[in-house]
Amino acid sequence: KLLARAGVGSRRDIERMIAEGRVALNAQVLETPATILKSLEGVTVDGKPVAEADVTRIFLFHKPSGFLTAARDPGGRPTIYDALPQGLPRLVPVGRLDMNTEGLLLLTNDGELARALEQPSSGVVRVYRVRARGRVTQADLDKLQDGVTVDGVRYGPLEAKIDKAKDGPSGANVWITVTIAEGKNREVRKVLKSV
């Protein structure tokens, strides 16, 4: 955890580095990731000392459509890291946005903070503005306040409101503001498609 927090890599990356014998403490190669450290004093990776973690920082990023929220893609598709400016510290996203979704994405240099914010128990809500093609009424959306089951998956309660068009109802092409606290994979798309 300390090495990940210091920006050396993800926890999985660091486990691999330890298995490869690349991490040492006071010149002794670590043999297991289950080593309890109070600080990074005396810790080296590939023979280079590791500096203590930087202060926790949060970045606001407008994720464009067409980028995966992932560190790398075996298929070679572009990721958010391809769209970020050079010279930033190692950053992890707080949650995910689908490849074809654009909008605000929080990034942080503190993986534990990211995980804490992603947990529904944190109470942090996510707000989405969604374009829906199809007939939907506010009464349909109000039923989602009690949660819904779609294809055998139970989704918790969410709030969905049709955005009022300046010139009145917009028929089969509406904008909806959705507020959720859960954030399961493709939850907004699946739940609205069910409506």
Q: Among 46, 73, 98, 167, which one carries the catalytic annotation?
A: 98
Please answer whether residues 163 and 129 qualify as being in contact, where contact means their C-beta atoms are separated by less than 8 angstroms: yes
Residue recorded with tokens 């996510």:
126
Written as one letter, the residue type at 39 is: S
> Residue 110 catalytic?
no
User: Mapped to the 3 state alphabet, what secondary structure does the chain carry?
Assistant: CHHHHCCCCCHHHHHHHHHCCCEEECCEECCCCCCCCCCCCCEEECCEECCCCCCCCEEEEEECCCCECCCCCCCCCCEHHHHCCCCCCCCEECCCCCCCCCEEEEEECCHHHHHHHHCHHHCCCEEEEEEEECCCCHHHHHHHHHCEEECCEEECCCEEEECCCCCCCCCCEEEEEEEECCCCCCHHHHHHHHC
Which residues are catalytic, by number? 98
